[in-house]
């Protein structure tokens, strides 16, 4: 099945810093989504981005489908950005399921 | 933005008991899913459901699990006889077109 690799696995930042999270995937996809899991375990939908670039406030994402990667940018980070960020992809083989990466734990210190 | 809701937010049960986790998908969505996340691990697919049938399931989704859409608004996951290893966050998701999935906030299941 499709493989999803996220990097870096952990990141510690000072408030106000910028960061880039990367997601590599092993096959063509028809779905790619980014999620933020907050300290209470809730999954927050960030982006649906199988290709192209989107922005939402301080967050933006870019997916280059032909090169099989996606990037999530967080600018001017805040302590509330702390948590785990997941990339999840859906392959083109007819399966509907999303395959999640292992996640990236972000800690933003005041 | 429309939301998927799940109840309860936290369920505690004794080993061997049956539990039903409930979800209200977004109203015009036709495709429904359950995912599971064991503490500290990645989120895993359990099952997809469309037109009152299971369309795909993972190896995790064995005979102890079942899903149902009992009415026009709810989507449920039943675990018949819970085990300690069923302790996890369970996420419901729905989709209008099988592409973008909208996830609910999750139900934390603790089996004692």
Distance in Å, alpha carbon of B64 to nearest chain A alpha carbon: 20
The total of other beta-carbon atoms located within 10 Å of residue A96's CB is 19
**Is residue B91 less than 8 Å (CB to CB) from chain A?**
yes
Q: What residues contact residue B89 under an 8 Å CB cut-off, 6+ apart?
A: A41, B36, B37, B39, B106, B107, B108, B109
Chain B residues with CB inside 8 Å of A88's CB? Answer: 43
Chain A residues with CB inside 8 Å of B56's CB? Answer: 95-97
Distance in Å, alpha carbon of B11 to nearest chain A alpha carbon: 14
Q: Look at residue A67 and give its three-state secondary structure.
A: helix
Q: Which residues sit opposite A104 in a β-bridge? A: A85
pLDDT number for residue B70: 87
**Is residue B45 less than 8 Å (CB to CB) from chain A?**
yes
Q: Which residues sit opposite B75 in a β-bridge? A: B23
pLDDT number for residue B73: 87
B23: nearest Cα among B43, B8, B39, B11:
B8
Cβ–Cβ under 8 Å, residues A36 and A22: no
- Give pLDDT tens digits for A61-98: 999 999 999 999 999 999 999 999 999 999 877 788 99
Distance CA B3, CA B24 (A): 9
Tokens 């419901």 appear where? Answer: B92
Distance CA A82, CA A102 (A): 16
Chain B residues with CB inside 8 Å of A90's CB? Answer: 99
Distance in Å, alpha carbon of A17 to nearest chain B alpha carbon: 26
Per-residue pLDDT of chain B (112 residues; tens, 9 = 90+): 789 999 999 999 999 999 999 999 999 999 999 999 999 899 999 999 999 999 999 999 999 999 999 887 899 999 999 999 999 999 999 999 888 999 999 999 999 9
- φ, ψ for residue B43 (rounded to 5)? -75, 135
pLDDT number for residue B1: 75
Q: What residues contact residue A106 under an 8 Å CB cut-off, 6+ apart?
A: A10, A11, A12, A13, A19, A21, A74, A77, A81, A82, A83, A84, A85
Sorting pLDDT into bands at 50, 70 and 90, what band is A39? confident
What is the average pLDDT across A93-107?
Answer: 91
A86/B35 touch (CB, cutoff 8 Å), yes or no:
no
pLDDT number for residue A76: 97
Which spans in A1-110 are helix H? none
Select the more confidently predicted residue: A47 or B98.
A47
Half-sphere exposure of B23 (CA within 13 A, CB side): 30
User: What are the CA-CA distances from residue B34 to residues A20, B74, B102 (Å)?
Assistant: 29, 13, 11
| Residue A37 pLDDT exceeds 90 | yes
User: What is Dmax (Cα atoms) for chain A?
Assistant: 45
């Amino acid at each position: 099945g499709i493989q999803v690799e996220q990097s870096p696995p952990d990141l510690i930042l000072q408030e106000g810093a910028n960061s880039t999270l990367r997601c590599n995937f092993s096959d063509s996809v028809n779905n790619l989504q980014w999620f933020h899991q907050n300290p209470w375990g809730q999954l927050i939908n960030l982006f649906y981005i199988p290709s192209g670039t989107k922005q939402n406030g301080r967050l933006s994402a870019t997916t280059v489908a032909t090169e099989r990667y996606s990037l999530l940018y967080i600018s001017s980070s805040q302590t509330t950005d702390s948590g785990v960020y997941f990339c999840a992809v859906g392959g083109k083989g007819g399966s509907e399921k999303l395959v999640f990466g292992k996640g990236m734990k972000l800690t933003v210190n005041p | 933005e429309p939301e998927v809701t799940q109840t309860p937010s936290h369920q505690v049960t004794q080993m061997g008991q049956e539990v039903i986790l409930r979800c209200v998908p977004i109203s015009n969505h036709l495709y429904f899913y359950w995912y599971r996340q064991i503490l500290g691990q990645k989120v895993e697919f359990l099952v997809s459901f469309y037109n009152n049938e299971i369309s795909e399931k993972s190896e995790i989704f064995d005979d102890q699990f079942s899903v149902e859409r009992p009415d026009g608004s709810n989507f449920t996951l039943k675990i018949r006889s819970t085990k300690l290893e069923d302790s996890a966050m369970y996420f419901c998701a729905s989709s209008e077109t099988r592409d973008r999935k909208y996830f609910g906030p999750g139900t934390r299941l603790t089996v004692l």
